[in-house]
Structure 1
């Protein structure tokens, strides 16, 4: 049980890669805080974890798009009250509907995408960093996109946010490196058969893509002692190997 007694918060835990990570990490003993705005999806992941014999997770309904600073502080306070510290934080929530020219994105959609994909990871890191620093070793993982660095046309606010998120992760990693307690890395899942991929490329033959469960090993690596000393890195699941 490589993650026995580790407490890990996962955003977007109700579906897609977030639920995949939650199940994979819980199987190795982690206590998962499932954060998502969709309660039925949270309940489904909760049941899947307990049915598999994992530690009982915590469901925390939370709307990243509508939350304010006090909501984030309340989340941090509740985690501190129950657990005292935090060993992991996975930013897996995503806001993306379809590819759109920048000239056609509404102001509302622009701000909502930036808020979920960029501002929420910043606010969570800022509020939860004191709890992460209480652990001898803690891991923060940002989820990016394989196309972020190429800034493809029509990727809109989602593309802008992912470019900025990778920069944010590197800055935070460098700021925390000297303390040697919290490591910060970025995960590139690559094309997998996920709900996000289905929205982005509806005509694609998904049977040719790896299953989301293929990412279990890289999630375990990033949150276990296997990655101690690794920080400020971008880990591409397509080329990952121990």
Structure 2
């Protein structure tokens, strides 16, 4: 049980990448806080974790796009009260609408995407820092996307938010490095057969892609003892040698 009794919060826990992370880390012994706006998806991953005999997770329905700062503070307070500390925070929640030219990008869609993909990770990380600092070692992981890292045309608000997210991760890593308690890294899953990939590239032959479960090793590394001392890095899951 590599992560025995570690408490890890996962946003977008009902999604493809998020659910793999939740199952993987729970099977390694972690107590998982499942955060997602979809109750049906939360119940599905909750049942899957219970079915493998892992520690019972906690379901926390939460709409990142519509939540207020007080909602985030309440979440942090509940975690502090229930557990007293936090060893991990994984930002998997993502909002992707479509590849769209900037000239046609709807203002509402722009704001919604930035709220979920950038503002929410900032707010959640900020309010949870005090709880994360109570652990001897803690890990914050931001999930980005190799398809938009070079500011490609038509990636719109999704591309802007992911590029900014990587900058946020590096800045936060530098600010926390001196304490040697909280490591902050960005994970690039690479092309995998996930629901997000299907929405973005519906005509792609998914049989040629690695399954989303291939990311399990990367999650165990980033939240396990092997990555202690590794911070401020952008890690490609497809080239990570474990």
Give the TM-score category using the shorter length.
over 0.9
Moved over 2 A (4+): none
Equivalent positions of 1:101-112 (< 5 A) are 101-112=101-112
1:50 equivalenced with 2:50 (yes/no): yes
Equivalent positions of 1:211-230 (< 5 A) are 211-230=211-230
Shift of the alpha carbon at 1:149? Answer: 2.6
Aligned to 1:41: 41
Q: Distance in 2 between matches of 1:126 and 1:230?
A: 20
Equivalent positions of 1:1-242 (< 5 A) are 1-242=1-242
Partner-residue secondary structure (3-state), 1:148 = coil
CA contact (8 A) 2:170 2:232 kept: yes
- The Cα offsets for residues 44-73 of structure 1, whole Å up to 9 and x where unpaired, read as 000000100110000000000100100000
User: What residue ranges of structure 1 are gaps of 5+ in the alignment?
Assistant: none
Partner-residue secondary structure (3-state), 2:131 = helix
- The Cα offsets for residues 76-99 of structure 1, whole Å up to 9 and x where unpaired, read as 011011000000000000000210
Shift of the alpha carbon at 1:238? Answer: 1.1
CA contact (8 A) 2:191 2:209 kept: yes
* CA RMSD after TM alignment: 0.6
- The Cα offsets for residues 1-39 of structure 1, whole Å up to 9 and x where unpaired, read as 110010000000012100010000000000000000000
User: What residue ranges of structure 2 are gaps of 5+ in the alignment?
Assistant: none
- The Cα offsets for residues 168-203 of structure 1, whole Å up to 9 and x where unpaired, read as 000000000000000000000000000000000000
CA contact (8 A) 2:15 2:93 kept: no
Give the TM-score normalised by structure 2: 0.99
